[in-house]
């Protein structure tokens, strides 16, 4: 047994010295042995800007997030055309799918249950098959679900399609931010990661526009079937996208990691960035050895970071719960998503249509609803411009504080029945949410976990998000009946509660490595 162990250790050492040898050779060719000189000779800096190819990869992968946003809102506008029809269709597909309001609500909400399932399996898929392949294969799930929706001949078939699309959505929202964070230079993580939220809100807006133009008769099938076209398009576009170099690196595929990073950075020397990964993971491995009490690597082999990753398995959604070092980031991942959902933003979206209808004509109410979507998109784009120029916590608290004031104004307008103030308040709530509390929970979660735990941590984060969505959606009418015109006050209280938690527990993550962030964890 000892001989087998020695042989395995020597083989690991031989297989994994490649990266360090390439780094040394590159430094010798450049005439540089340190980072400062290397930068003068063209070594890519960890804080370099996003290249056009890196941006293209981010955009193409983020189509999965666009599909998520589109699927979230696809049933809203064509609801009446789907559940009610007077004429009989001479073709094979019925004009509508007659069902009760409650059954339609079930068909809508089953999407969140599917997303909950998808979020729990997403981490395993991302670790086993890679970030890119997970998104690629996920389009098959989206395609099947969209096909069942578009060609549904019964309400039950629509429910099956919604559930399957929900599973795909859960996978997409876990893997997409993970990929974006891993391909981005450290000081541009926020801007690139905003592509996830931008695509979600643009998807919602496009779905609303489709409902506005194709919401009559059997045209609702066009709205639901568009997801098939989006899936096919992304499969084609992903052929030009590189896998996350981080995924290659933590699986000891050093040559592929180096090549992928060179393509993303558009430069031949990526020494410094690779060294930063080596140093960070080396410290993690040393901590593991100390914890195991081995006193060092076996057989006297010089410890190499890649060899350590060959020995350390990624954490699953269950094994991560047993690790003390991840208790704080897991807690943060959960409370960030719960805080977002319990901020009342979805209740505002749900309530906005009835508010607009009570003040304006039905035609104008539809236009105002679309304008809310435009405001959401516009403010999310603004966030992309400032997220890497402003501290994460400042942007988060500014967003939450503005939401608190906006909900207070909406409550006053509701109590005193001031129609135009209610409309203004709704736009203000959305404008407050979109630049901060909307995208930041997704971004911060990808920054507080190391490579071994990011998949499992993201799975718990997104699962919490969809669970919160389900809880708020299913209890809002009860809250409304209990508090009446003061229905938004409980959400104002929750904003204060979560704001205090974030102030105490959440460290600043902008421009910092996982190791630096972890030193600021409270427990």
Is the Cβ–Cβ distance between 391 and 510 less than 8 Å?
A: yes
List of domains in the chain: 50-267 (1.20.1250.20), 270-312 (no CATH), 315-523 (1.20.1250.20)
Residue 490 half-sphere exposure toward CB, CA atoms < 13 A: 16
The whole-number pLDDT of residue 285 equals: 54
The whole-number pLDDT of residue 286 equals: 54
- Using alpha carbons, list the distances in angstroms from residue 439 to 273, 292, 409: 26, 39, 24
The whole-number pLDDT of residue 141 equals: 98
The whole-number pLDDT of residue 88 equals: 64
Give pLDDT < 50 ranges for the chain: 1-20, 23-24, 26-45, 47, 289, 291-312
Residue 122, judged by CB atoms within 10 A of its CB (0-12, 13-18, 19+), counts as buried
Is the Cβ–Cβ distance between 458 and 130 less than 8 Å?
A: no
- Cα separation of 333 and 443, whole Å? 10
The whole-number pLDDT of residue 8 equals: 41
The whole-number pLDDT of residue 371 equals: 92
Per-residue 3-state assignment (H helix, E strand, C coil) for 412-477: HHHHCCCHHHHHHHHHHHHHHHCCCCCCHHHHHHHHCCCCCCHHHHHHHHHHHHHHHHHHHHHHHH
**23: which residues sit within 8 A by CB, 6+ positions away?**
271, 274, 275, 278
The whole-number pLDDT of residue 254 equals: 86
The whole-number pLDDT of residue 411 equals: 94
The whole-number pLDDT of residue 79 equals: 86
pTM: 0.83
The whole-number pLDDT of residue 478 equals: 84
- Cα separation of 507 and 391, whole Å? 10
The whole-number pLDDT of residue 217 equals: 82
Residue 466, judged by CB atoms within 10 A of its CB (0-12, 13-18, 19+), counts as buried
Tokens representing 258 are 């180096």
The whole-number pLDDT of residue 282 equals: 62
Is the Cβ–Cβ distance between 289 and 295 less than 8 Å?
A: yes
The whole-number pLDDT of residue 18 equals: 47
Q: List Cβ<8 Å contacts ≥24 apart for 483-488.
A: 485/411, 485/414, 485/415, 486/411, 486/415, 487/347, 487/414, 488/344, 488/347, 488/348, 488/407, 488/410, 488/411, 488/414
């Amino acid at each position: 047994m000892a001989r087998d162990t020695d042989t395995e250790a020597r083989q690991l050492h031989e297989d994994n010295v490649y990266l360090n040898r390439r780094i040394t050779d590159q430094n010798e060719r450049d005439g540089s042995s340190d980072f400062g000189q290397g930068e003068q000779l063209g070594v890519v800096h960890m804080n370099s800007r996003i290249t056009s190819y890196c941006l293209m990869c981010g955009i193409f992968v983020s189509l999965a997030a666009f599909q998520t946003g589109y699927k979230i809102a696809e049933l809203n506008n064509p609801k009446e055309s789907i559940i009610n029809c007077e004429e009989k269709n001479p073709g094979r597909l019925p004009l509508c799918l007659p069902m009760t309001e409650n059954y339609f609500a079930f068909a809508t909400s089953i999407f969140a249950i599917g997303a909950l399932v998808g979020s729990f399996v997403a981490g395993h898929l991302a670790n086993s098959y890679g970030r890119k392949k997970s998104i690629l294969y996920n389009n098959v799930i989206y395609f099947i679900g969209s096909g069942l929706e578009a060609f549904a001949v019964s309400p039950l078939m629509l429910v099956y399609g919604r559930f399957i699309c929900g599973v795909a959505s859960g996978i997409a929202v876990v893997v997409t931010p993970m990929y974006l964070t891993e391909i981005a230079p450290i000081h541009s993580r926020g801007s690139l990661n905003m592509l996830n939220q931008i695509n979600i809100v643009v998807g919602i807006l496009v779905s609303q526009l489709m409902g506005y133009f194709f919401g009559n008769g059997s045209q609702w099938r066009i709205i639901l079937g568009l997801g098939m076209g989006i899936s096919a398009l992304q499969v084609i576009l992903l052929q030009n996208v590189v896998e996350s170099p981080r995924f290659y690196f933590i699986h000891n595929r050093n040559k592929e990691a180096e090549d992928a990073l060179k393509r993303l950075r558009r430069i031949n020397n990526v020494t410094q960035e690779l060294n930063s990964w080596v140093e960070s993971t080396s410290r993690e491995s040393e901590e593991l050895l100390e914890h195991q009490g081995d006193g060092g690597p076996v057989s006297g082999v010089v410890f190499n970071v890649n060899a350590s990753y060959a020995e350390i398995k990624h954490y699953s959604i269950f094994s991560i719960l047993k690790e003390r070092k991840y208790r704080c980031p897991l807690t943060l991942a959960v409370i960030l998503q719960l805080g977002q959902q319990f901020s009342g933003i979805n209740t505002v979206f749900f309530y906005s249509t009835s508010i607009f209808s009570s003040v304006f004509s039905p035609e104008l109410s539809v236009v105002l609803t679309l304008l809310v979507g435009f405001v959401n998109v516009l403010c999310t784009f603004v966030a992309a411009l400032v997220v890497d120029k402003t501290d994460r916590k400042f942007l988060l608290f500014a967003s939450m504080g503005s939401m608190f004031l906006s909900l207070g104004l909406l409550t006053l307008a509701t109590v005193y029945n001031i129609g135009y103030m209610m409309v203004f308040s709704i736009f203000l709530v959305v404008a407050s949410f979109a630049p901060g509390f909307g995208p930041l929970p997704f971004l911060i979660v990808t920054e507080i976990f190391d490579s071994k735990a990011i998949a499992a941590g993201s799975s718990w984060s997104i699962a919490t998000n969809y669970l919160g969505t389900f809880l708020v959606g299913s209890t809002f009418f009860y809250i409304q009946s209990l508090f009446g015109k003061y229905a938004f006050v409980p959400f104002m209280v929750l904003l204060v509660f979560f704001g205090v938690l974030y102030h105490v527990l959440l460290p600043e993550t902008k421009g910092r490595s996982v190791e630096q962030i972890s030193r600021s964890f409270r427990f």
